[in-house]
Amino acid sequence: MRNRHVAAWTSVAAAALMAAASLTTPAAAATSARPTAAKCPQLSTKLPWYGQNRAKLQRMIDERGICGGHKGPRPVAAFDWDNTVAKNDVTDATIAWSLKHDKILRPASWKKTSKWMTDDADKALTAACGTDVPVGAPLPTSTDTDCTDEIFNIRESGKTMSDAAAFAGEWNHRRTVPQYAWVPQLFAGHTVPELESYAAAARAEALAAPVGSTQKLGTHTIPGYVRYYDQQRDLIRTLQRAGFDVYIVSAGSEPVTEVWSRGVGIDRKHTIAIRSILDREGRITTYNEGCGGVGVNQGEAIPYIDGKRCWINQDIFHIKGKSAWEKQRWDKRIALGGGDADTDVTFVGDATGAHLVLNRNKPEIMCRAYDNADGRWVANPMFIEPMPRKTGTYPCSTAGYNKPEGGFGPLLRDDGSVVPDQVDSIF
């Protein structure tokens, strides 16, 4: 059964954005209602940005928003969530809270929670979490640190605590990664409102924790806090006032992301993430909706690298079938894309006005940002606890590209030339 809150999202989005298939070009004529420059929505000058980045973003907003005088559908901006709009990972915060409060239900078979789970991982989870708890009942992860460790280590690294591969087989490495797809699968058996309540409780805890704080999860030490970036909140609000439709596109679980996105004024219908299929009782299953001709699946297609492009094309610009995986013409692409990691590189690169990147030392996206082939890349240090400068260079020319079959290869520009290795200069 299709997730009812997802069905509502889709129908509203389709009605509101039907015209988005024909965005205007920069050459469109100005309208008589064009605001004066003094009234154009402005980014706050009190919030620091690196170098001339505020001015670059403001110029794009002025050109493409209501001050640009363009007719037609509203321009679109899309942002990743974790470490792009907020500092730290809200999925990890939700998992941590759930493990500390015994909210993970024992599956009938760990092996069946993911189509790629290895026998080693199945055995490790079964040994660590035991079989005493009835199937469908909460695991005592608040006190059973072995179970907590095993679950979180697999989520974090794709490996068991003994360093065995937790997932194996074939998958398109630009469309999914098993440990990301496994997160909503961990919450199978819960309803969407239940998962939202866990995310809300984790949100309250993470926002109350001091900046820089950590928490223990079994033997793991992970960030204990999350913060909305003031600069990104201001950017999103300015874009909205300037007439942009602003979306979140995340590789997290959609109910979790929706709880957080409301904090920056983005509603459910503008939040895109992994959408779990619900059973007849309205409970989350280990299956999710697909994109670009991929139907219901068990993680083969999620909003990850090229998957984020697919969902933007499908849900915002209404491009159906396999074409949704492809880069579209100028008038069917977002105006601004914002991200922080290689999982964001495709949709951020599709933007026609500005490619905003927060530097987390991720090779493919930073190679694109520093190469700046179209002059529209806007690289910025993280606003809270920025990463240190990367030593050496990014290996763009030899290993900057995440290959669909796995592994790495040379990163190419649109014209086929190789992106040279890049020095980390914005940190």
| Under 8 Å between Cβ of 396 and 375 | no
Backbone angles phi, psi at 386, to 5 degrees: -60, 155
- In the chain the domains, ranked by start, together with CATH numbers, are 4-32+76-83+230-423 (3.40.50.1000), 90-223 (no CATH)
| Under 8 Å between Cβ of 251 and 343 | yes
- Over residues 67-85, mean pLDDT: 91
User: In this structure, which amino acid lies at residue 15?
Assistant: A
| Under 8 Å between Cβ of 226 and 207 | yes
For 365-375, b where at least 16 C-beta lie within 10 A, e where not — what string?
A: bbbbbbbeeee
Confidence at residue 39, expressed as pLDDT on a 0 to 100 scale: 78
Long-range contacts of 285-290 (CB under 8 A, 24+ apart): 285/188, 286/112, 286/113, 286/114, 286/185, 286/188, 288/181, 288/184, 289/2, 289/3, 289/6
Confidence at residue 36, expressed as pLDDT on a 0 to 100 scale: 53
Q: 70 pLDDT band (50/70/90 cuts)? A: low
- pLDDT of 101 above 80: yes
Q: 25 pLDDT band (50/70/90 cuts)? A: very low
In a 10 Å sphere around its CB, with 0-12 CB exposed, 13-18 middle and 19+ buried, how is residue 270 labelled? buried
- Over residues 22-39, mean pLDDT: 44
Confidence at residue 38, expressed as pLDDT on a 0 to 100 scale: 53
Residue matched to tokens 């006190």: 143
- Over residues 50-69, mean pLDDT: 95
CA pair distance 37, 28, nearest whole angstrom: 18
In a 10 Å sphere around its CB, with 0-12 CB exposed, 13-18 middle and 19+ buried, how is residue 63 labelled? middle
- pLDDT of 13 above 90: no
Q: 315 pLDDT band (50/70/90 cuts)? A: very high
In a 10 Å sphere around its CB, with 0-12 CB exposed, 13-18 middle and 19+ buried, how is residue 363 labelled? buried
Nearest to 239 by CA among 375, 337, 328, 340: 337
Strand pairing category for 336-339 and 354-359: parallel
Confidence at residue 71, expressed as pLDDT on a 0 to 100 scale: 73
C-alpha distances in Å from residue 361, one per residue of 34, 53, 78, 380, 399: 41, 18, 21, 11, 14
Does residue 76 sit in helix, strand or coil?
A: strand
Confidence at residue 27, expressed as pLDDT on a 0 to 100 scale: 36
CA pair distance 122, 135, nearest whole angstrom: 15
| Under 8 Å between Cβ of 361 and 339 | no
Q: What is the pLDDT of residues 177-223, one digit of tens each?
A: 999 999 999 999 999 999 999 999 999 999 999 999 999 999 999 99
CA pair distance 222, 139, nearest whole angstrom: 21
CA pair distance 104, 140, nearest whole angstrom: 8
| Under 8 Å between Cβ of 203 and 21 | no
Which uninterrupted H or E stretch holds 422?
strand 422-423
- Over residues 353-374, mean pLDDT: 98
User: What are the E-state strand segments in 183-270?
Assistant: 214-217, 220-223, 227-228, 245-253
Per the prediction, the chain carries an average pLDDT of 92
Expressed in angstroms, the distance from the first to the final Cα of the chain is: 46
DSSP 401-416: EE-TTSSEE--B-TTS
Q: What is the pLDDT of residues 331-346, one digit of tens each?
A: 999 999 999 999 999 9
Least confident residue range of 16-20, 138-142, 181-185, 385-389: 16-20
Nearest to 110 by CA among 93, 133, 87: 133
Q: Pick left, alpha or beta for residue 189 (phi over 0 → left; psi -120 to 50 → alpha; otherwise beta).
A: left
Strand-pairing partners, residue 227, are: 87
The pTM is what?
A: 0.90
Q: 28 pLDDT band (50/70/90 cuts)? A: very low
- pLDDT of 96 above 60: yes
Q: 37 pLDDT band (50/70/90 cuts)? A: low
CA pair distance 163, 179, nearest whole angstrom: 15
Rounded percentage of the chain residues whose pLDDT exceeds 90: 89
- Over residues 30-41, mean pLDDT: 57
- Over residues 293-309, mean pLDDT: 98
